[in-house]
Amino acid sequence: MTTPSASAAGTLHGTTERVALLRIAVAASVFAGSGAAATMAVGGELATVLMVSGLSAAGVAIGYLLGRRDGLTPRAVRLLLFRVSDELAQYRAFTRLLRDQGERITASTSAAAIGIVNGLTEMDSDLARLRTAIDRAAPGNATELKALADAVGSPIVSLLGQLQFQDLTQQQIDFLARLSLIVDQHMIDLAQRLGDRRSMDRTENFKEMFNKALDDCVMTSQRDDHHAAAGLDVHETSGPKVELF
Amino acid sequence: MPSTILIVDDSATILMSMEAILHKAGFTVAKAASGEDAATQLTGGLKPQLIITDIHMPGMSGIDLIRKVRTMSGLQFLPILVVTTESQQAKRDEARAAKATGWLVKPVQPDDLLKVVKQILPNG
């Protein structure tokens, strides 16, 4: 089974980025005075956070700085750690932007969908009135006109049904926002960890947090995506789409 | 007299599109944007012949609403359909245990919705 960290690291495109992230892992471990296992944990989590945030370029820069630690004074090392901690905190601005954009998208699709429902409903009423008017003007005749009015109106119900897409995409974007909040919280935890070694034990593992997000996946497609991101080749089967108990 | 159907969903798009579909099929439609709103309408005297509810809503969930309706006088056997994006079997079992009548996964084709509704309300 592939862990989320390993999976995220596997998506790195450049050797430079891998080296940079490895440097973060090594540096974090050395500065924290921890062992090899902690090195992998801290490095892996930092790598995951940076990759998930799409901020690998910043990761490269931080890795470069940390890689040049030889010969630095303890004060300089502390400053570098604070800098990393500060950068992590600032990344939250990006995840917040993602959530804000998501909200804008759902607000605009909601307004558009409501406008379309209103328009379709009005068209349907007008077509019904047209049919009645034709009947009144030419009772028993004008079958071609009535058939035409029916044909124009026939796709309306199907179109109304298709507007459910708005609710579905809204729920999907809401889920992404919840995921970004998890990343957010983890970045706060990591930033605190860099500044306060005693917080190590209190910080929840990113993998655990990621796995908890599965509970929020209500759609089969979401759950399949989550399994894939966790490195699992699992495709869940959902029950019938319509079922009377 | 056409049957009244109460639709409960926090999505305005779903409420409006379902209302249009059911209204066109000849049903009278009442709407509620939350479980609490639905419960208030029911205790206030609304007498629908069918409730169609979402599961995931802020505040009172669809399952909680079903449980509440089942405690209301005269509504123990009122048909309640769940229409939701939720696809987990556990939730489906929970709805069944709460005495829901049926389960439809969004997106629901209008024809499928009307077919089920007409099965439950054969007299319209």
Token pair of A17 as six digits: 């980025």
Nearest to B60 by CA among B23, B81, B32: B32
Answer whether residue B105 is part of any domain: yes
pLDDT number for residue A241: 83
CA–CA gap between residue B119 and residue A97 (Å, rounded): 47
Lowest mean pLDDT among A29-33, A41-45, A168-172: A29-33
pLDDT number for residue A75: 84
Cross-chain residue pair B108–A166, CB shorter than 8 Å: no
| Alpha-carbon distances, residue A141 vs A46, A137, A150, A245, B6 (angstroms) | 76, 9, 15, 47, 39
pLDDT number for residue A146: 87
pLDDT confidence band for A17 (50 / 70 / 90) = very low
* Rounded average pLDDT over B21-27: 94
Position with higher pLDDT, A218 vs A168: A168
Count: domains in chain B: 1
Cross-chain residue pair A245–B24, CB shorter than 8 Å: no
Q: Give the gap in angstroms from C-alpha B19 to the nearest C-alpha of chain A.
A: 10
Answer whether residue B119 is part of any domain: no
Lowest mean pLDDT among A14-28, B8-22, B48-62: A14-28
pLDDT number for residue A87: 80
pLDDT confidence band for B64 (50 / 70 / 90) = very high
H/E run at residue B83: strand B80-84
Average per-residue pLDDT for chain B: 94
* Rounded average pLDDT over A72-81: 82
pLDDT confidence band for A198 (50 / 70 / 90) = low
User: Does a cis peptide bond (omega within 30 degrees of 0) precede residue A74?
Assistant: no
Answer whether residue B123 is part of any domain: no
pLDDT number for residue B60: 96
Answer whether residue B64 is part of any domain: yes
Cross-chain residue pair A218–B56, CB shorter than 8 Å: yes
Position with higher pLDDT, B106 vs A211: B106
Cross-chain residue pair B104–A166, CB shorter than 8 Å: no
Lowest mean pLDDT among B14-23, B30-39, B66-75, B87-96: B87-96
Pairing of strands B80-84, B102-105: parallel
Nearest to B22 by CA among B58, B44, B61, B48: B48
Check whether A10 has a pLDDT greater than 90.
Answer: no
Answer whether residue B118 is part of any domain: no
Answer whether residue B124 is part of any domain: no
Domain hosting B96: range is: 4-113
Check whether B117 has a pLDDT greater than 60.
Answer: yes
Write the CATH number for B72: 3.40.50.2300
Token pair of B45 as six digits: 């005297």
pLDDT number for residue A59: 55
Among chain A residues, the shortest Cα distance to B109 is held by A161
Output the CA angle B71-B88-A162, nearest 5 degrees.
Answer: 90
Q: Give the gap in angstroms from C-alpha B42 to the nearest C-alpha of chain A.
A: 23
B14 → closest Cβ in A167, A223, A242:
A167
pLDDT confidence band for A203 (50 / 70 / 90) = low
pLDDT number for residue A217: 75
Answer whether residue B59 is part of any domain: yes
B87 → closest Cβ in A158, A218, A245:
A218
Contact of B81 with B52, CB cutoff 8 Å? yes
Position with higher pLDDT, B111 vs A6: B111
pLDDT number for residue A34: 40
Answer whether residue B70 is part of any domain: yes
B4, β-bridge pairs: B28
Lowest mean pLDDT among A4-13, A26-35, A78-87, A99-108: A4-13
pLDDT digits (tens, 9 = 90+) for A81-110: 888 887 877 777 888 888 988 998 999 999
Average per-residue pLDDT for chain A: 73
DSSP state letter for A199:
G
